[in-house]
Chains A and B, each alone.
Chain A
Amino acid sequence: MKLITAIVKPYRLDEVKTALQELGVQGLTVTEASGYGRQRGHTEVYRGAEYRVDLVPKARIEVVVEDTAADDVMDAIVKAARTGKIGDGKVWAVPVETVVRVRTGERGPDAL
């Protein structure tokens, strides 16, 4: 199994959710996040004084899937989240040893 984490622009979240549902992904977790990449935040102006704000609001999406589905899921997220502009985010995958469904105690892929 793989844990896929995606950091995307918050306003692309709905598109990513729809794409994952179409792929048959059963569940996901979304967290409000802040951070920056190469573009380093944005500038705000108050009475002529400029402030650099380096942390930009982001949505962090986490989903655990079977190994065979991982590439498709990552591709779907990238396609749905891409705007072509700077700050579109990142997606990565890491191996997961095991998963337990809390309600039933099922383990492994059955718990997904």
Chain B
Amino acid sequence: MSSQVFTSWGRVLREAHEVVGLPSRHQPLSLPASGASVLPFGNGRSYGDSNLNPGGALLQGGQLDRFIAFDPVTGLLRCEGGVLLSSILKLVVPQGWFLPVTPGTQFVTVGGAIANDVHGKNHHATGSFGNHVTQLELLRSDGSRRLCSLEQNADWFAATIGGLGLTGLITWAEVQLRRVANPYLDTESIRFHSLEEFFELSQASERDYEYTVSWIDCAFSGKRLGRGLFNRGNHAPAVLDVDAVPKGLPAGIATPSRRVPITPPVSLINTLSLKSFNTLYFNKQRQDVVRSLQHYRPFFYPLDALLEWNRIYGPKGFYQYQCVVPPERALSATRALLEAIAASGMGSFLAVLKQFGTPASRGMLSFPEPGTTLALDFPNQGPKLHALFAQLDRIVLDAGGRLYPAKDGRMSAAVFKAGYPRWTEFTSYVDPRFDSGFWRRVMENS
């Protein structure tokens, strides 16, 4: 066993952890002799401390990266928990299949996608990742193994989907993929000038478009508040207009090759860069509506093309704030959030707005629920930023919403418990040897 410094995607925490290898899914877990707690660590794309275990050990989940079976006729895929979504796409897209749900990066593991019950741009149509898992195996620290599905060990299934890796190790899982005719998407980008317009566009698009998501400008208040670009798309049909296929693809995007080479001494994100970037980005397209055929990589994973983009926030790292607020309060709460952020001058250019739909999440602690979700990055600016977060927390809680643990590095125990009323039920499924920095924080005083 060795020790290694780990940081999560937001790079705020840098902590040495004991490391425990996982050479085979057939072996029992090797646990630290010290009695320290463990936590599965996949590819490190969670933002805060839900994937870190300071003072404890991390199980190297990425070592379980084998496929078990793929049926190209039914699209049923069984693989180990450490397989990356990018490996799945590489295997199945040429055979006419696609992930049923994908988050904004393909560099997450299947185990991580389940443990955070990740969502994508098609939540309104198909729910989150856990809704497409047909079964999984859970390995506990006592050596017991449970096959979990809707039929078998259904309670463990519900605890493990969105269970933040705390219920045990997901050694393997089975996922039902969805058919596609080719790697392309038929997309539209529409400029909108207000939040009302966003909600109208969302509602109008939900029936006819599988994927919808918006970039929203959070740098300005007043007249420009709530302006943005609405993106929607569908998988392209089997018969493609050859002239419309983007030239030079997919070779040009075959592998992400650009990398942020160094961490700049200070964050490159500040009020000035933010305002100019957002103005440029909002006006990047000449027409109000632009239709195009896009390869799936730039459409779903625009940021994956720039490896280690998290470095641009400088050595202090950044926080992401992602919340969901229920439909009845969505407009007023979202406006209040944007106003508070614009007034602080601290927002990000990666602000994302999306309507979640009605498909019910399966996990006890799943984040998605019907309503509107807003996600923003904030360079770590210490107390000033935490004061803004406290202000945002109040708006979210007043509206009956909650925050996303996968993106969180700071919410209080009270905010967590208010957002996730099933937490008490969940605690009985937590493995006695498993723990995380996040979990210790939100379980304080209970």
Q: Do A and B come from one complex?
A: no
